[in-house]
Amino acid sequence: MKKKLYSFLLVLFLFGAIQGHAQTFKPGIIGGLVTSQVGGDGYSGFNKLGLTFGGFVRYDLNESWSTQFEIAFVQKGSRNGFSITENDPNQTSEYFVFRLNYIEIPLLFKFDHRNFIYEGGLYYARLVGAYMELRDDNGSGFVREGLDEVNTVYAKPFKNYDFGLIVGVGYKITDNLLGSIRLSNSLMAIKEYDSGQVDTYLTSFRIGWTNTVLLGSIRYTFGEGDENPPPRKEK
């Protein structure tokens, strides 16, 4: 799985570096933190923390508008938010962490207004790893179950892809460096409801379990600001 991940990101970087020779193409790298929840699992709140890293290629349509293609590794999932050692010394509450690791491919439209960047688009993500952490039967320790084992617990299995919507805003720290915040949500279920399950959070939609992600990142663009070098001084 790691070899495939590195290959994806390497291909993206090489593609961006080659295209970066053209004035309107700009490659870059991404790194940041993720907080997420899964609508439909019975828990609420952005309690699951994760990481994201990857790369992108931006194509400038004009001075204000651009499109951006990305490939990034994103850790999504959910947890119940309880701290065993502090809030539950007797281990009476349920401990639950569900980790979903994706290779995510967003396609975005971006609008540049002064130092702010407004963006929106769609993403497709492929599930490359998943597991659940929970307390064992006697309550004395914890167990980790892989996706195959998790799917035996539920009547409806998890899908190996995610498709959804992204909106975000960024601020230019420098010509090359951008800080951004994004919110994304699945438009299709990552898992259908089991028979008889009712989810109060998505009752009106009834599409199943969905990923909701709040992502903060730093993005570095190579070659930004190099189009207009300072004029040479005449001797």
> Is the model's pLDDT at 125 over the cut of 90?
yes
User: Higher-confidence residue: 196 or 123?
Assistant: 123
SS3 3: helix
From residue 100, how far is each of 37, 48, 49, 110, 233 by CA, in Å?
10, 10, 11, 28, 56
> Is the model's pLDDT at 209 over the cut of 70?
yes
What average pLDDT score do residues 29-54 get? 91
pTM of the predicted structure, to 2 decimals: 0.79
Quote the percentage of the chain above a pLDDT of 90. 46
pLDDT in tens, 145-197: 777 777 766 767 889 999 999 999 999 999 999 999 999 999 999 988 776 65
Task: Specify whether the CB–CB gap between 65 and 59 falls below 8 A.
Answer: no
User: Higher-confidence residue: 133 or 120?
Assistant: 120
What average pLDDT score do residues 40-54 get? 88
Out of 123-127, 153-157, 202-206, pick the least confident: 202-206
pLDDT of residue 92: 46
